[in-house]
Structure 1
Amino acid sequence: MKKLSIIALLMTVIGMLLWQPQLASADELTGHSHEQGLRYLISKNALVKDAKGSYRPDDNVTRGEFASYLTKAMNLEATSDIVFKDVPDTYVHAKDIKLAASAGIITGYGDGLFKPNAAISRQHMAVMLERAIDYLNIPKGTSTITFKDNAAIIKDYRQAVAIGAQLEIIKGSNGYFMPEKNATIGQASSFIVRLMQLAGDPDATAPNGGNSNGGNTNGGDTNTGSPKYAIKEISNGTLVGNQGFSTFEAAEKAVTKNTQVIVQSDKIVKMSSGYAVTNNYVALKSETINDSLAVAANTEMEYLSSDAIQVKVRLAGQVGYLKHADVTLIPFSMSKGRSYYENVNGEIKHTLYDYKTNKYSSSYVFGKAPSFMKQNEKYYSWNGIYFSNGNGSSKGNAYNYYQFLPARAQTQYTAQELDAYIMNKLAEIESTGATLYKDATKKSKLIGLGQTLKDVEAKSQINAMLILALAQHESAYGMSEQAQDLNNLFGLYVYDTNPKNKKFDSIADNINELVDKFLQPNYITPGGSPGKNFANGAVVGSKALGFNVKYASDPFWGAKIAGHYYRAEKALGFKDANNPYTIGLTTTNGLNVRTGATTSNSPLFTYARSGMPVIISSSATNGWYEILSDKLYTGKAFVSKDYVQVINTVK
C-alpha cells in the first residue's frame, strides 16, 4: 500500500509538471514580441479571435482592421455622413471606419474607395498614425529623422514617417524602415499602444507594474546579490569609486557629499546639482500648466531631483517628470560644454551645443543684447528671459521685443517695403551657392508677397511681419518642396493616401488657411478652440509662454522666428522698434478683459493663466488699461491696471 501511494504521488507530480507547460503555451500571445500591444487591443475590444480561436498576431493587418484598432483605442464617437463605395454597412468594421474617417484619421482614395481588405503598408500606417497624433493633440514639432532606405519612402510620406520615428511610435530595423513592407497585426498593435502611451491612456502603460525605466526598479535584492546601484565621486571631471548597493534607497541614504552621484549601469540617476539633457524627443507633462509639451532631443533642462524611476525637471518654468531613459544627467562639474548666449557687437547670439557629438553645432542672432550683458562673456538661461553669467555677477531679465510682441501688433512697413526686403534676402541666400537656394530670386514662393501679407494683417489683425517670419522659417524662404510644389509655406495637413498633397490654389489661400484654421482659433484667441489647449499667449515666445509652448518641440523656435523679424527690421531701418508698442504681462489667473473700464462691463474674454502678454494701447485711466484684444474684435478692450505689469523689452 505504501509503495502504491508513493507511485500515485509521483504520477500526480509528473502529471502536474507535464500540464503546466501546456497551460502556458495555450495562450499564443505569451512571450510574443508584441505581447503588450496585442493585449492592449484585446482590452479595448479591438482585437478578437477568429473562427479558429486565434488572434493571428503574425498575419498582415488590413486597412480596415487598422482603422478599427485606432477607432477603438482612441474611443472615437463623433460621426458624419462620410461613406466609401466599398464599405457597406454590413462590413464588419464599417462603423469604425466611418468614425475614423469622420475624425480625419483616414481619407480613402480619390475614386471613393477605401479598400478595407487590402494589407496596409508601413508607410501608409505612418501617415494614419500622424493624423491620430494630431487628433489627440500630441505635441510633435518637426523632425529630420531619416532611414537608410529613405529614398524608398514615397516623398510625400517621409515627414509622417519621421514624426512617427521621432516619437518612437514606429521603429525600423538596422536603420531601415522598409516602407512598402506590409505590417503585421502584432506590429500594428505595438504602434498603437505607443501612440496611446503618449496620449496618456493609463491602459497603455507598460506591464510589470508601470515601471518603464529601462529595467530600473526601486528596491529589493537580486537573487544573485549583485549590486544594482553604485555611489561614485566626481574627481577632476570624472567618476571614481564603485561602492555597490542592492537598492536605490540604500544608495541614497549612503550619499554624504555633494560631489557624489548614484549610478546604475554607469548611467547617473541621481546627483546633487546639474542639468538634464533629452536623449530624444519627449512629451513632458507639465504640472505647472497641466498639459503635455513637445520637447526636442538635445534640450537642456534644470535638474530638480530624481528617484529610481523618474527625473523631476523644469523647462522654462514648466515642472514635470521624465523617465531616466529619456534623459542624460550631467553634473555641472562634468559638463564638457553647454549652450550659451553672448553679446556680439551689441547683438544677442545664441550658440547651441550638440550632446551627441559633444561639439558646438550652430548659432543664431535674434535681437539686440540687453544692457547688462558684457562682451566676451558667456551667459546661460533656462527660459530665454532670465540670464546670468557663470559666476552670477552679471545677470538680469531680458524680454526680446520681437519674441514677446503680441500678434495683434501691426508692422509699419508697406507692402512695397516688404517686397523689397524679400528680394534682397533672396539674393543674399542665393549668393551662398547652396543647392536649396539656387535661383531663389526667380523661384521663391515669397516673391511679391508684400500685399498679400498686408491684406491679411488688415483683415485678421495679425502682424504681417510675423507671418513673413513664420513663412521664412518654415519654408526655407519659400524654397522647400512643399512650398514649391503645393503652395504650402507651413506644411499644413496630411492625408493617408495623399499626405501633404493638399495643393493650395495660391500662397494667399495657404496663408489664410494658417490664420483662419490654426493661429486665429487655436493660438491667439484666449481659451483656443474647444478641446485644444494651445493658447498660451499671443506671441511666438518660448517654452515659458506663447506659441512655442505647443507649436514646436524646438524650445528655441520662438527665438528663431524673432530672429527673422529682427533681421528684417535691421535691413529696413528699425521702423517698428523705433516706434514700439508698450507690452505688459498679466499677473493673476482668471483675469477678465472687459468691453469697458468698469467691472460692470461685460467680460470680452478671460485669461485663464497669468503671464499673458498684452499690448497696452493707452495710459491708465481710472485704474484701467486699454489694450488690444487677443480675441478678434474691433471695439475697445480694458483690463485692470492692478493685474498688469509693464515690461521693458530689448529692441
Structure 2
Amino acid sequence: MKKLSIIALLMTVIGMLLWQPQLASADELTGHSHEQGLRYLISKDALVKDAKGSYRPNDNVTRGEFASYLAKAMNLESASDIVFKDVPDTYVHAKDIKLAASAGIITGYGDGSFKPNAAISRQHMAVMLERAIDYLNIPKGTSSITFKDNAAIFKDYRQAVAIGAQLGIIQGSNGNFMPVKNATIGQASSFILRLMQLADDPDASGNSNSGNSNGGNTSGGNSNGGDTNGGNSNGGDTNGGDTNTGSSKYAIKEISNGALVGNQGFSTFEAAEKAVTKNTQVIVESDKIVKMSSGYVVTNNYVALKSETINDAIAVAANTEMEYLSSDAIQVKVRLAGQVGYLKHADVSLIPFSMSKGRSYYSNENGEIKHTLYDYNTNKYSSSYVFGKAPSFMKPGEKYYSWNGVYFTNGNGSSNGEAYNYYQFLPARAQTQYTAQELDAYIMNKLAEVESTGVSLYKDATKKSKLIGLGQTLKDVEAKSQINAMLVLSLAQHESAYGMSDHAQNLNNLFGLYVYDTNPLNKKFDSVADNINELVDKFLQPNYITPGGSPGKNFSNGAVVGSKALGFNVKYASDPFWGAKIAGHYYRAEKALGFKDANNPYTIGLTTTTGLNVRTGAATSFNPLFTYARSGMPVIITSSATNGWYEVLSDKLYTGKAFVSKDYVQVINTVK
C-alpha cells in the first residue's frame, strides 16, 4: 500500500510538472492593475513589445496608438481616402488611423494634421469612445453622471464622459475624472476592454468582466446588468412578446394617429422590406425606425458626413434636419443642402412627416426673415434668429421650410420661391462702405445693447469687450487682405459672444481658432489684432477664399459665409446655419447704420460649370489666374459683359483685373 501511495504521489508530481509549461509564465503584466485589458489588446495584435521587449503599460498612450487599438479591437476594415499630412503611409499606425477616421471615430486638426505622437488626454479618449459606442450600436442614453471636477471637463465633452461613465467604460478616482490628465497604455486597454465587452466581443468575455480589474459593481453587477442593459431595456416586453421573439430582429409597424402600431416580426431586413405594402408602414429595429417611405432625418450627435457630391467629409452638428432619401439595414442615405452622403443608423433618427411633433421653420416677421429652430431632445422650439429681409413671396403668418436656405416652400406648394440672402452670399472680397469710426460707433452701441439685457455674460461689456476699438484694425485688414471688414466683424461677434467669451477674454481669441471638436488647443494671442491677422493669413486667405486652397486642403467651397451647400460653412463650422447667423450680424449692423452696403450693392453671380477658368484678360488667349473646380461658386461682377466676358473680383489675392466667360455665370437676385 505504501508503495502504491508513493507511486501515486510521484505520478501527481510528474503530472503537475508536465502541466506546468502550459500555464502562462509570469511577465511584466502579471498582477498589473490593467492586466486583463493589456492581454486583450495583445490578443488583438494591437499591443506589441518595443525594441526593449516591453509592453510599456505605464507609459502615456499617444493619439496614434489609441486610434490603432480601437481599429484593431473593433476589426475595422473599410477605409476611405482621408489623409492627414503628418501621417505618411510609412507611419507604424497609418492604416489603423485611416480606418478609425473613416469610421468617424477620430478627426484631425484644422490644419490637416492628426498629431499621432501627441499624448492623449482622458477627456479626448472619452469623445473617441463615445463615437465607437455609436459605431458599434451599443445602446446609450443621456446620462446625468457628473464628477467633482466636472467644471474642468471641456463643456462639449461632458456628455461623452457622462455616457462613458454610465456604461462603466471609464472611471474616475475619488469622485474626480481628471479630464486633462494623460492616460496610460494600461488605462487605455481597460477602457477598450470594457467597450468591447458591451459590444459582446467573445475575446473580451469570460472572467475579464469581473473581479478587481474592472472594479466590481462599476463594470458589472448593477451598472451594466440588471435593468440597465438587460432585463426590460433590451429584452422582455420591449421587443414585442410572441409576435417578435427570438430571431425576429425587425418588425413592420403602421403609423396611426401619429403613433406606431402592430408588430409583425421578421428575421432579416430584406424580408421585412419585401413585406412592406403601404406608404404608412415603417420598418423598425428595437423600436427604432430604420426605413420609411417619406420623412426627414435628424442627427443624434455630431457626425462627419462623407459627401459624395464634393467627395469630402462635412462636419454636421447634432439636431440637424436632413432630407431622407433611402436606407438599408446598415445606413441611411441623406441629403444636406444638396450634399448627398450616408450615415449610420446609430447617428440619426428617422422621422416620418406624419409623426413629426415639430420642425424648424422660416417666417416673415415684420418684413424680416426669421428662422425658428426645433430641439429634438426636448421636443420644443428652442431659439430663433433674424438674418435679413424676407423675400417678397413669403407671406406673413405662414411657416416655410427649406432644405438649403435658398428654396422655400410653405409645405403645400401654394407659396414657394427661391431667395439668396445678400449678406450670406456676398463674396468676401467685397468692400464695406463703413469707415473705422462708424464701425467703432456701432460696436459700442451694440455692446451697450447686450449689456442692458442683464445676462451675466455681458456684464460690463462696454468696458471689457475685446471688440472695443477694432474699427481701424478691421479696415487695415480690409485694405491689405481685400477681405470685407464688416464680414470679419460679424464673424467676431458671433464666435466670441461680442468679445466676452472666455477664449476672447483670456486668450484674445475672437474666432475659436484651434478649438476643434476632438482636441481644443488653448493658444493665447498677444493681441486681438494678432488673432485677426492669424484668421486672415492662416485660415481665410489660403484655405477658404483662394480657390484650390493650400496643398492637402479642400476648404475652398466659395468665398462666402454661405451654407452647407457652398461657402465657408461647408467646412468652417458644424452648425448648418452658421453662415446665416453670420449674415444676421451683418444685417443688424446695416440696419443700425443705414444700409449703406445694401443701398449700393454688388452684382453677384454663380458659376454654372466645373473647371471654369478665371483669366487675366477677356479672351481665352489670356492666362488663367485660377480655376473653379466646382460649379455654383459665387463671384462679384464689377462690369457688364464685354465681348462675352464679365469683369469680376478675383477670389485669389490679386490687384489686377480678372475675367470670366459670361456663358458660365448666372446672375442671381439677392434679398437685401
TM-score (norm: length of structure 2): 0.74
| Partners of 1:595 and 1:636 within 8 A in 2 | yes
Q: Deviations over 1:543-602 (max 9, x none)?
A: 000000000000000000000000000000000001000000000000000000000100
| Partners of 1:137 and 1:532 within 8 A in 2 | no
Structure 1 position 177, deviation (Å): 4.4
Task: Report which stretch shifted further, 11-20 or 591-600.
Answer: 11-20
5+ residue gaps, structure 1: none
| Partners of 2:243 and 2:263 within 8 A in 1 | no
- Report the CA distance shift for 1:198/1:298 in structure 2 as closer, same or farther (over 3 A): farther
Match of 1:308 among 295, 306, 329: 329
- Aligned equivalents of 2:82 and 2:6: distance in 1? 71
2:286 matched residue in structure 1: 265
| Partners of 1:130 and 1:163 within 8 A in 2 | yes
Structure 1 position 152, deviation (Å): 3.6
| Partners of 1:536 and 1:547 within 8 A in 2 | yes
Task: Report which stretch shifted further, 558-567 or 8-17.
Answer: 8-17
| Partners of 1:141 and 1:294 within 8 A in 2 | no
Structure 1 position 492, deviation (Å): 2.2
- Aligned equivalents of 1:23 and 1:250: distance in 2? 49
2:208 matched residue in structure 1: none
- Report the CA distance shift for 1:263/1:542 in structure 2 as closer, same or farther (over 3 A): same
Structure 1 position 147, deviation (Å): 7.0
Structure 1 position 184, deviation (Å): 3.8
| Partners of 1:298 and 1:354 within 8 A in 2 | yes
| Partners of 1:167 and 1:282 within 8 A in 2 | no
- Report the CA distance shift for 1:39/1:597 in structure 2 as closer, same or farther (over 3 A): farther
- Report the CA distance shift for 1:131/1:536 in structure 2 as closer, same or farther (over 3 A): farther
SS, match of residue 638 in structure 1: strand
Structure 1 position 188, deviation (Å): 3.8
Structure 1 position 183, deviation (Å): 2.4
Structure 1 position 185, deviation (Å): 1.9
- Report the CA distance shift for 1:155/1:288 in structure 2 as closer, same or farther (over 3 A): closer
- Report the CA distance shift for 1:136/1:638 in structure 2 as closer, same or farther (over 3 A): farther
- Aligned equivalents of 1:160 and 1:226: distance in 2? 32
| Partners of 1:156 and 1:500 within 8 A in 2 | no
Structure 1 position 319, deviation (Å): 0.5
Q: Deviations over 1:223-280 (max 9, x none)?
A: 9843111111111111111111111111100100000000111111100000010000
Structure 1 position 116, deviation (Å): 14
Structure 1 position 481, deviation (Å): 1.4
| Partners of 2:135 and 2:346 within 8 A in 1 | no
Q: Deviations over 1:342-394 (max 9, x none)?
A: 00010000000000000000000000000000000000000111100020110
**1:171-570 alignment to 2 at 5 Å?**
177-179=177-179, 183-185=183-185, 188=188, 225-493=246-514, 500-570=521-591
Q: Deviations over 1:98-122 (max 9, x none)?
A: 9999999999999999999999752
| Partners of 2:244 and 2:266 within 8 A in 1 | no
- Aligned equivalents of 2:112 and 2:630: distance in 1? 46
- Aligned equivalents of 1:271 and 1:313: distance in 2? 13
Task: Report which stretch shifted further, 554-563 or 103-112.
Answer: 103-112
Larger relative contact order, structure 1 or 2 (CA cutoff 8 Å, min sep 6): 1
| Partners of 2:135 and 2:344 within 8 A in 1 | no
Q: Deviations over 1:193-212 (max 9, x none)?
A: 999999999999xxx99999
| Partners of 1:399 and 1:649 within 8 A in 2 | yes
- Aligned equivalents of 1:327 and 1:103: distance in 2? 15
Number of residue-to-residue matches in the alignment = 648
Task: Report which stretch shifted further, 30-39 or 185-194.
Answer: 30-39
Structure 1 position 52, deviation (Å): 11
Structure 1 position 473, deviation (Å): 0.4
- Aligned equivalents of 2:486 and 2:5: distance in 1? 93
- Report the CA distance shift for 1:501/1:164 in structure 2 as closer, same or farther (over 3 A): farther
- Report the CA distance shift for 1:529/1:333 in structure 2 as closer, same or farther (over 3 A): same
- Aligned equivalents of 2:253 and 2:107: distance in 1? 56
| Partners of 2:134 and 2:347 within 8 A in 1 | no
Task: Report which stretch shifted further, 428-437 or 18-27.
Answer: 18-27
- Report the CA distance shift for 1:232/1:579 in structure 2 as closer, same or farther (over 3 A): same
Q: Deviations over 1:153-179 (max 9, x none)?
A: 489999999999999999999997442
| Partners of 1:222 and 1:246 within 8 A in 2 | no
- Report the CA distance shift for 1:555/1:96 in structure 2 as closer, same or farther (over 3 A): closer
- Report the CA distance shift for 1:532/1:642 in structure 2 as closer, same or farther (over 3 A): same
Q: Deviations over 1:21-78 (max 9, x none)?
A: 9899999999999999989987999731369988576886489977999999999999
Structure 1 position 220, deviation (Å): 20
| Partners of 1:429 and 1:437 within 8 A in 2 | yes
Structure 1 position 502, deviation (Å): 2.9
| Partners of 2:615 and 2:625 within 8 A in 1 | yes
| Partners of 2:608 and 2:666 within 8 A in 1 | yes
- Report the CA distance shift for 1:46/1:210 in structure 2 as closer, same or farther (over 3 A): farther
Task: Report which stretch shifted further, 24-33 or 600-609.
Answer: 24-33
- Aligned equivalents of 2:480 and 2:645: distance in 1? 28
Task: Report which stretch shifted further, 484-493 or 14-23.
Answer: 14-23
TM-score (norm: length of structure 1): 0.77
- The CA RMSD over aligned residues, in Å, is 9.0
- Aligned equivalents of 1:187 and 1:123: distance in 2? 13
Structure 1 position 94, deviation (Å): 18
- Report the CA distance shift for 1:10/1:145 in structure 2 as closer, same or farther (over 3 A): same
- Aligned equivalents of 1:605 and 1:200: distance in 2? 54
Structure 1 position 493, deviation (Å): 3.3
| Partners of 1:220 and 1:247 within 8 A in 2 | no
Structure 1 position 151, deviation (Å): 2.0
| Partners of 2:244 and 2:265 within 8 A in 1 | no
SS, match of residue 217 in structure 1: helix
- Aligned equivalents of 1:216 and 1:603: distance in 2? 68
- Aligned equivalents of 1:452 and 1:142: distance in 2? 45
| Partners of 1:139 and 1:283 within 8 A in 2 | no
Structure 1 position 86, deviation (Å): 23
- Report the CA distance shift for 1:291/1:210 in structure 2 as closer, same or farther (over 3 A): farther
| Partners of 1:594 and 1:601 within 8 A in 2 | yes
SS, match of residue 188 in structure 2: helix
Structure 1 position 468, deviation (Å): 0.1
- Aligned equivalents of 2:662 and 2:84: distance in 1? 57
Structure 1 position 506, deviation (Å): 1.7
Q: Does 1:136 align with 2:136?
A: yes
Task: Report which stretch shifted further, 225-234 or 30-39.
Answer: 30-39
5+ residue gaps, structure 2: 205-228
Q: Deviations over 1:257-305 (max 9, x none)?
A: 0000001111111000000100000000001100000000000000000
SS, match of residue 429 in structure 1: helix
Structure 1 position 484, deviation (Å): 1.3
- Report the CA distance shift for 1:96/1:607 in structure 2 as closer, same or farther (over 3 A): closer
- Report the CA distance shift for 1:80/1:222 in structure 2 as closer, same or farther (over 3 A): closer
Task: Report which stretch shifted further, 291-300 or 4-13.
Answer: 4-13
| Partners of 2:244 and 2:264 within 8 A in 1 | no
| Partners of 2:609 and 2:632 within 8 A in 1 | yes
| Partners of 1:294 and 1:552 within 8 A in 2 | yes
Task: Report which stretch shifted further, 224-233 or 395-404.
Answer: 224-233
Structure 1 position 480, deviation (Å): 1.0
Task: Report which stretch shifted further, 152-161 or 362-371.
Answer: 152-161
Structure 1 position 150, deviation (Å): 2.4
- Report the CA distance shift for 1:36/1:51 in structure 2 as closer, same or farther (over 3 A): same
- Report the CA distance shift for 1:102/1:162 in structure 2 as closer, same or farther (over 3 A): same
Q: Deviations over 1:471-528 (max 9, x none)?
A: 0001110111121122211122369999644322221111011100000000000000
- Aligned equivalents of 1:611 and 1:199: distance in 2? 44
- Report the CA distance shift for 1:97/1:242 in structure 2 as closer, same or farther (over 3 A): closer
- Aligned equivalents of 2:371 and 2:313: distance in 1? 26
| Partners of 2:467 and 2:498 within 8 A in 1 | yes
Task: Report which stretch shifted further, 71-80 or 148-157.
Answer: 71-80
- Aligned equivalents of 2:9 and 2:398: distance in 1? 83
Structure 1 position 127, deviation (Å): 11
- Aligned equivalents of 1:148 and 1:368: distance in 2? 48
- Report the CA distance shift for 1:547/1:102 in structure 2 as closer, same or farther (over 3 A): closer
